[in-house]
Amino acid sequence: MTAALDADAGVVAEGEACVACGHPTAAHDTISLRYCAGTQLNALTRSCICPQPK
Ligand SMILES: [Zn+2]
Ligand SMILES: [Zn+2]
């Protein structure tokens, strides 16, 4: 069961801290991963939507 879901997931790698928001990448769901990837690409400082309190 190998899905190529990370083909366009940006630079966020599992097991690392998110560059955009600093939360563990594992704490992100699919939506927040894409949201943070967009934040990085656009160099934005908007808050994240991770399903985890700060
Ligand atoms: Zn976050
Ligand atoms: Zn993030």
**Mean pLDDT across the stretch 35-54?**
85
Best mean pLDDT range from 8-12, 15-19, 22-26: 22-26
Verdict on whether the full-model pTM lies above 0.85: no
State residue 32 phi and psi, 5-degree precision: -70, -30
Tell me which amino acid residue 29 is: D
- The residue written with tokens 């808050």 in the block is 47
C-alpha 49 – ligand 2 centre gap (Å): 8
d(CA 29, CA 13): 13
> Distance from the CA of 42 to the center of ligand 2, in angstroms?
14
With a cut of 90, say whether residue 53 has pLDDT above it.
Answer: no
Confidence of residue 7 (pLDDT cuts 50, 70, 90): very low
Residues with CB under 5 A from ligand 2 (ion): 18, 20-21, 36, 48
19: exposed, middle or buried (Cβ count in 10 Å: 0-12, 13-18, 19+): middle
CA of 4 to the centre of ligand 2 (A): 20
Per-residue pLDDT, 46: 85
pLDDT score of 43: 84
